Structure 1
Amino acid sequence: MTLIVHLLACAFGLGSWLAVNGLWVELPLIVNTLPEGWDLPSYLTVLIQLANLGPLLVTLMHKLCPGLLKETAVIYAVLTVGVLACVLLASFWQVTTVVAGAPHSTAFFILTFFISLVDCTSSVTFLPFMARLPAEYVTTYFIGEGLSGFVPGLLALAQGVGVATCVNTTQDPTGGGESWTIQTQYLPPNFSPEIFFYFLAVMMCVSLAAFCALKRLPRTFFELANVALVPDPGAPSASTGLDNPGLETNGGPLQQREADGTNPTEPSAGESNLSMYRLGFIYFLVVWVNTATNGLLPSVQTYSCMPYGNLAYHLSASLASVANPVACVFAMFFPNRSLLFLGALGVLGTAFGSYNMAMAALSPCPLLQNSAVGVALIVLSWVFFTGTLTYVKVMAGVILRDRSHSALVWCGAAAQTGSLVGSVTMFPLVNTYRLFKSADYCNTKCPL
């Protein structure tokens, strides 16, 4: 039964960011078809953050009208919308209309907004629902959330997304003689984007089915989880559980652990003794990690990788999505709650992100452009950037899960706030001020 619940939690987490991650790994193919070209990622980041309307409303409802909004109803709704949006995306992703005198991917943008609405809202509904289960299933949920990037990444590798080659072509526009030019030719994928989007719809159905099964678990699973949770602020209790949870009485953790024969002076994994400063630091980590991973860096991934070739872009997008679930699994078997360690890991991940941002700023002529070392560095930098910050995000979620239900709700709100700040910062830099310049890998000439 325990194994089945772990599988269901993992499958449920799969639907959290599956559709948005699927769009990102498909970008090497889509970016060459839709009229926005290399600017498409920056448009996506803004659309994703506009979808924060969903989690904002959910968070406000939790704060202003506690108990009125049913999380399960919201989860049913967002997963159903996710399935429908993926199906419609398969049919209409190439439809364009003229806006302000230029063609734009209106259908793609509209459906991306609804997909993003689903995934953003999952941040403040999926995790609080999982908090009803024992803590080990929360980590399994994070593995599923990581797989929401890994599974589309594997599919993109099988698809052969965005593989290109440089070919010599002849031109004779005046009939006076032939001239040779080098052009970038994209090889056809092994299967179409339509099939890719239908696959995403199937995976969303799997997540919906897993949630339905989790809802029907015996009550004992949910009752076991509630023993370890610190009550939400305002709930009747002999103590707030913030500064000295070991002194709780009336059937609280102290009495429970005395009955179990454990030392009541040592905090258990299920209790929270976080000071306000430490709690603030954890939320700061959540905000910053999501600012970097969901806002700042995704907007410029094309500019940092494409000058090294389509293979570098393809590998960085796909392997970075693999690093996400690997980091979640690592957090499951090697958890480290030390805030000093998590802060140091956050600094390390920021260093990798800074390298990626620097290479984007140097486009179309980044460092070591014509070297295999340069390709390896940019791919590895994206992998370690994603992996290190994902570990920090998972451990922050685990720590806050042990604090209270509302702490996880605010964790999701902090994550979306960081994502919003990052994307709003990058959009004008990419699309208005044009600080990042695109390159044609086959024709751009850079000094050695």
Structure 2
Amino acid sequence: MSLLTHLLAVLFGMGSWVSINGLWVELPLIVPEIPEGWYLPSYLSVIIQMANVGPLFVTLMHRFRPGALNEAAVIYTIIGLGTVSTFLLGFFWKDTVVVAGPQYLTTYYIGEGVSGLLPALVALVQGVGVVRCINSTQSLNHTLSTYNSSLTLDLQAQYQPANFSAEVFFFFLSAMMLVCLAAFLLLNYHPSVASEHSNGRYTNRTKHRAPKNKNWAEQKPMMDPYRAPNQKARSSFGSGSYSWPQVVYIFVILAWVNALSNVVLPSVQSYSCLPYGNNIYHLSATLAAVANPLACFIAMFLPIRSLLLMGGLTVGGSGLGAYIMFMAALSPCPLLVNDVSGGVVIVLAWLFFILTLSYVKVIIGIILRDEGHSALVWCGAVVQLGSLLGAVTMFPLVSVYSLFSSGDPCNTRCP
């Protein structure tokens, strides 16, 4: 396998979520100047899921008109739109308008993780969302008969200027999308990479290639631990390595972990972290971004495909997610809000939440990669479906019923 191809796969994967991840870490600088305020994360979740019409179209075309869709052209279009949109955000982010499989899959996932890490690091350098509380006086209970007034001290939040503007940050995101586009072009046309392109068409079953050496055939049983070489197929799904109950189990977990990690918890990240301070918020966002590629590296060297382990990690990650959700519900006065340990716990909760669920997602991607191209298409569809269900659930809770409160960073007093 080529190191250049791995590098290009990382750079290509970096463009997958860089725009969205960049928006999450830039929220403290954006929300004071837009009418949506801290409701923006829930709005973003719904808007992102509205774009699922694209993956749905690709899935339906693959199912009913296989081979009719030029998927490379679709990817070029998506990356081009992402580059243009992030560039335009640099000019218009303040404006309000009322509108009616391949073997390099794991390195691609690493690139997805980097798409969150780099914007988070840049946001830390930028110093977004730093608040200083200033004093102001208000004259209250003034009466004409006595000309007396009682003065009360009021603290007002004053957001400090960042080291560089939101415009510069969005131009940085646009540059990252350009790097993604360049990486995809090189993956398609660079001579050193072109030699590794797969030949022939994918089918609903695993694409078999002639073994390059005798060791490949010996390793294959280890790659598919649930089906011996001569064992009868358990189902008509992919290579038949998994029974239909196991396939359903895998896809349910895939939908669940993507709903939690892509939408449900990010929608309330500000509520769960900001009561502990802006530094805790940015630290949790940055370490969570680090956890994603870290999980991919771990999966690259320890691709444990045990369905039991997958379920255990999902339960553990969901438990951490429940704690984070509970802290968000208690905002602006979550547990240990006045104690340093409270901030440490919430940061660690975010770190291991993303780490465990990211590992689960990568392992599922590796499993489905070996089941063929069709399995990967369904993988993408289930990822989007899970994220959509998460958005539909969280938007009314956050933006309609206002179950979460951000509080005032200067005047909120917690016992």
- Tell me the TM-score normalized by structure 1: 0.82
Instruction: Supply the AA of the counterpart residue of 1:155.
Output: V
Instruction: Supply the AA of the counterpart residue of 2:263.
Output: G
The 2-side partners of 1:213 and 1:188 are apart by 39
Q: CA RMSD in A?
A: 2.5
How do 1:423-438 residues align onto structure 2 when only pairs under 5 Å count? Answer: 423-438=391-406
Q: Which residue matches 1:34?
A: 34
1:374-395 deviation line (CA, Å, top 9, x unaligned): 1111111111111110111011
Instruction: Supply the AA of the counterpart residue of 2:244.
Output: M
Matched residues, number: 393
SS at match of 2:158: strand
The 2-side partners of 1:26 and 1:361 are apart by 22
User: Which structure 1 residue ranges, 5 or more long, are not aligned?
Assistant: 100-105, 111-130, 234-239, 246-251
Deviation at 1:258, TM superposition (A): 12
Q: Which residue matches 1:117?
A: none
1:247-305 deviation line (CA, Å, top 9, x unaligned): xxxxx67xx67982777797242776222222222111210111101121111112212
Q: Which residue matches 1:422?
A: 390
Whether 1:393 and 2:366 are equivalent positions in the alignment is no
1:345–1:392 CA contact under 8 A, matched in 2 = yes
Q: Which residue matches 2:339?
A: 371
Q: Which residue matches 1:269?
A: 223
SS at match of 2:68: coil
Deviation at 1:350, TM superposition (A): 0.5
Pick which of 297-306 and 342-351 moved more: 297-306
SS at match of 1:169: strand
Instruction: Supply the AA of the counterpart residue of 2:203.
Output: D
The 1-side partners of 2:217 and 2:408 are apart by 65
User: Which structure 2 residue ranges, 5 or more long, are not aligned?
Assistant: 143-147, 225-238
- Note closer, same or farther for the CA distance 1:265–1:319 as it changes in structure 2 (3 Å cut): closer
1:306–1:439 CA contact under 8 A, matched in 2 = no
1:48-87 deviation line (CA, Å, top 9, x unaligned): 1111111111111111111110110001111111111011
2:13–2:112 CA contact under 8 A, matched in 1 = yes
Whether 1:223 and 2:198 are equivalent positions in the alignment is yes
Q: Which residue matches 2:408?
A: 440
The 1-side partners of 2:300 and 2:4 are apart by 17
Deviation at 1:445, TM superposition (A): 2.1
Instruction: Supply the AA of the counterpart residue of 1:396.
Output: I
How do 1:181-330 residues align onto structure 2 when only pairs under 5 Å count? Answer: 181-218=154-191, 219-223=194-198, 232-233=203-204, 260=214, 267-269=221-223, 273-330=241-298
Q: Which residue matches 2:230?
A: none
Pick which of 79-88 and 437-446 moved more: 437-446
Q: Which residue matches 2:105?
A: 138
- Note closer, same or farther for the CA distance 1:206–1:364 as it changes in structure 2 (3 Å cut): same
1:148-170 deviation line (CA, Å, top 9, x unaligned): 00110111111011111333334
1:294–1:423 CA contact under 8 A, matched in 2 = no
The 1-side partners of 2:379 and 2:76 are apart by 21
The 1-side partners of 2:153 and 2:266 are apart by 36
1:267–1:273 CA contact under 8 A, matched in 2 = no
Deviation at 1:361, TM superposition (A): 1.2
The 1-side partners of 2:86 and 2:219 are apart by 52
- Tell me the TM-score normalized by structure 2: 0.88
